[in-house]
């Protein structure tokens, strides 16, 4: 695009890369299915290799596979031919990435890989290439042209390879029935890990920290209990011995009632409490508790009683507990 502006160049780049990805859709074919099934049957790991920009894409593909249930790692081809091929076994699968299919460092690995007996999946843009001729499966990531106006820098070709790697990882994830809990096992750190691994039991208030009263107590007595525990609510239980939950009283309930007077403060809690409040199980994810709080109708709530299978009150979880743990 001679005489085009930088903005026009940038837009043209995105158009070309989008076209490169769209061109991959018909190539999700028998070869793709064969690659997916080969990996599903693999007793070892997927070893991804590639040189230069293809190597950078390979690192990301290996990381995506590993985080979604497919054991994988990246092997630098230059390091491979100098000893690191000892990492590969006949139980592994090699995913070799080379746009030309002729990258010398990758091609140099082929004789040794053949002797080791590891099957090879070639991800390349040239069907008539040395890599494809020595591979068991061919994933076609050819592009009409690079987005680079010079036609030199890998741009559309690396985008296509990355997208094909993502497609493979997603297909494998689905085939393995990979769950959010499985995902959490590989992402224990940071906010994501906390949201996916932390359960209600980890953050709820229980035991001596649990604010409870019986229905016959006055609202004034319940208010003292609310103030003492600082959670803004009290659980109403049938009896302190059985702890069966029958209601919930919040400081908001009390404030709203004060608008009509204060006579109710000497009346039983049973007349003011919310019956059948929303509850949660201690084994549910903390993120699920947050979802219930946010989507409660007619208005969001800030706390949830925690009950067991017999509807006995065993804890209470507050929105601030989730904030402190970084779930929100």
- Could you tell me the CATH number of the domain that includes residue 261? 3.10.580.10
| Same structural domain, 170 and 223 | no
Q: Is the pLDDT of residue 5 over 70?
A: yes
| Same structural domain, 243 and 158 | no
Establish if 194 belongs to a structural domain.
no
- Any idea which of 107-116, 151-160, 173-182, 256-265 has the lowest mean pLDDT? 173-182
| Same structural domain, 170 and 213 | no
Phi-psi region of 96 (alpha: psi -120 to 50; beta: other; left: phi over 0): beta
| Same structural domain, 127 and 271 | no
Establish if 123 belongs to a structural domain.
yes
Using the structure block, give the residue that is written with the tokens 């990979």. 178
189 band by pLDDT with thresholds 50, 70 and 90: low
| Same structural domain, 143 and 206 | no
Element (DSSP H or E) covering residue 95:
strand 93-97
| Same structural domain, 146 and 291 | no
Pairwise CA distance, residues 258 & 134, whole Å:
82
| Same structural domain, 174 and 221 | no
| DSSP helix/strand/coil, 112 | helix
Using the structure block, give the residue that is written with the tokens 């959670």. 231
| Same structural domain, 207 and 245 | yes
| Same structural domain, 211 and 149 | no
Q: pLDDT by residue (tens digit) across 271-288? A: 999 998 999 999 998 888
Q: pLDDT by residue (tens digit) across 222-267? A: 999 999 999 999 999 999 999 999 999 999 999 999 888 888 999 9
Q: What is the reported pLDDT for 300?
A: 83
Q: Give the chain's mean pLDDT.
A: 91
Q: What is the reported pLDDT for 188?
A: 66
| Same structural domain, 11 and 150 | yes
Establish if 189 belongs to a structural domain.
no
- Any idea which of 49-58, 148-157, 304-313 has the lowest mean pLDDT? 148-157
Q: What is the reported pLDDT for 191?
A: 62
Comparing 150 with 250, the larger pLDDT belongs to 250
Domain at 139, CATH number = 3.40.50.10490
Q: Which two tokens stand for residue 213?
A: 């009263």
Distances (CA, A) of 122 to 45, 77, 96, 289: 16, 14, 5, 46
Number of domains the chain is built from: 2
Q: pLDDT by residue (tens digit) across 70-87? A: 999 999 999 999 999 999
Q: Is the pLDDT of residue 96 over 80?
A: yes
Query: 148 is in which domain, residue-wise?
Result: 6-178
Residue 275 exposed, middle or buried by CB count within 10 Å (0-12, 13-18, 19+):
exposed
Pairwise CA distance, residues 73 & 176, whole Å:
19
What is the helix, strand, coil percentage profile of the chain, to 5?
Answer: 45, 15, 35
| Same structural domain, 14 and 159 | yes
- Mean pLDDT value across residues 172-196: 75
| Same structural domain, 174 and 227 | no
- Any idea which of 143-152, 204-213, 236-245, 249-258 has the lowest mean pLDDT? 143-152
Q: What is the reported pLDDT for 210?
A: 94
Percent of the chain scored above 90 by pLDDT?
A: 73
Comparing 15 with 178, the larger pLDDT belongs to 15
Residues in CB range of 218: below 8 A, 6 or more apart: 265, 266, 267, 268, 269
Establish if 213 belongs to a structural domain.
yes
């Amino acid at each position: 695009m001679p005489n085009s502006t930088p903005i026009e160049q940038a837009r043209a780049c995105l158009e070309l890369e989008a076209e490169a990805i769209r061109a991959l859709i018909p190539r999700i074919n028998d070869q793709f299915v064969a690659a997916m099934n080969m990996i599903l049957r693999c007793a070892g790991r997927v070893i991804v290799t590639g040189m230069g920009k293809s190597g950078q894409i390979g690192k990301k593909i290996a990381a995506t596979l590993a985080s979604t249930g497919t054991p994988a790692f990246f092997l630098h081809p230059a390091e491979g031919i100098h000893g690191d091929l000892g990492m590969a076994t006949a139980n592994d699968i090699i995913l070799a990435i080379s746009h030309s299919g002729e990258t010398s460092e990758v091609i140099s690995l082929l004789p040794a890989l053949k002797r080791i007996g590891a099957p090879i999946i070639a991800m390349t843009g040239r069907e008539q290439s040395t890599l494809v001729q020595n591979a068991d499966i061919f994933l076609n990531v050819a592009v009409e042209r690079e987005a680079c106006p010079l036609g030199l820098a890998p741009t559309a070709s690396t985008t296509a390879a990355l997208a094909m790697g993502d497609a493979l990882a997603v297909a494998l994830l689905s085939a393995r029935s990979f769950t959010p809990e499985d995902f959490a096992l590989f992402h224990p750190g940071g906010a994501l890990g906390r949201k996916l691994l932390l359960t209600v039991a980890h953050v709820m208030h229980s035991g001596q920290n649990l604010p409870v009263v019986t229905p016959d107590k006055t609202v004034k007595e319940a208010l003292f209990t609310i103030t003492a525990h600082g959670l803004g609510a009290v659980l109403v239980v049938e009896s302190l011995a059985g702890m069966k939950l029958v209601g919930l009283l919040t400081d908001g309930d009390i404030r709203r009632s004060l608008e009509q007077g204060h006579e109710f403060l000497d009346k039983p809690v049973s007349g003011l409490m919310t019956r059948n409040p929303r509850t949660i199980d201690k084994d549910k994810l903390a993120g699920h508790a947050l979802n219930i709080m946010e989507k409660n109708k007619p208005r969001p709530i800030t706390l949830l009683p925690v009950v067991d299978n017999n509807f006995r009150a065993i804890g209470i979880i507050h929105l601030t507990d989730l904030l402190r743990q970084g779930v929100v």
